[in-house]
Amino acid sequence: MVMPKADNQKFSIPPKLKFTYGDFKPISETSSYKVFEAKPRNSTQKHMIRILDNTKEFVNKNYDNVATLFIQELLRLQYVQPDSILINTFEISENGKQIAYATLPYVPLSFQLDDTQQVMNPKDPKVIDKLLKDVLSDIEFLWKDLQMRKIMDIWDQETFA
C-alpha cells in the first residue's frame, strides 16, 4: 500500500509488515505516525499497525526526537499492556527512517465514548477511577521518565475544546 504525498514523497508500509499483513485500513493519524487496522495473511484476526510517518515535515525536521518518542511510547505500552504488543512485528527499515509494529486490536477512547458503540460505561465509577489512574500514571511517566515538565504546553488547544 502506497499513499501519495503532495510533495512527491510517498508513505509506504514497511516490507515485513506489508508481506505479513493485508487489508490495511487507515484508523488514525498524528503529526508523527499513522495507525492502520490490518489482517495477518494467515488469519482473520485484526491487528493495529502503527507506523512512523517519515513523509511528514515535522518527523524529518525532528527525526531523532520523534523516533525516540515513538519507541518510548512502544516501550511504555509494553509496560502497561504487556500482552498487547506483537513484538515479532517490530520493524526498522529504510536505513532507520521507518519504524513500525503491530498490536492486538484496540478501540480508541473517542470511539468508546460514542453512544453508538458501548464498549465501556462512562458513568460507571470504576471506569472513571481506572481512566483517572491511567491518566495520572501516564502524566507521571511523562514527568519523571521523559522529563517533560511543560506537559500542558504539549497538547494543542483542540484537545480541551
CATH class of 1-106: alpha beta
154 band by pLDDT with thresholds 50, 70 and 90: low
Could you give the CA distance from residue 45 to residue 161 in angstroms, rounded to a whole number? 36
6 band by pLDDT with thresholds 50, 70 and 90: very low
pLDDT value, residue 31: 87
Q: How far is CA 144 from CA 64, 79, 81, in A?
A: 20, 15, 19
Cα dihedral sign for 34, 26, 114, 109?
A: negative
Q: 152 and 139 in contact (C-beta within 8 Å)? A: no
Q: Where are the domains of the chain?
A: 1-106, 107-161
Mean pLDDT of 102-120: 60
- Burial (0-12, 13-18, 19+ Cβ within 10 Å), 4: exposed
Cα 67–chain centre separation = 12
Q: What is the DSSP code (8-state) at residue 29?
A: E
Q: Residues 51-87: pLDDT tens digits?
A: 999 999 989 898 998 898 899 889 888 888 888 899 9
Could you give the CA distance from residue 36 to residue 27 in angstroms, rounded to a whole number? 5
Could you give the CA distance from residue 9 to residue 83 in angstroms, rounded to a whole number? 35
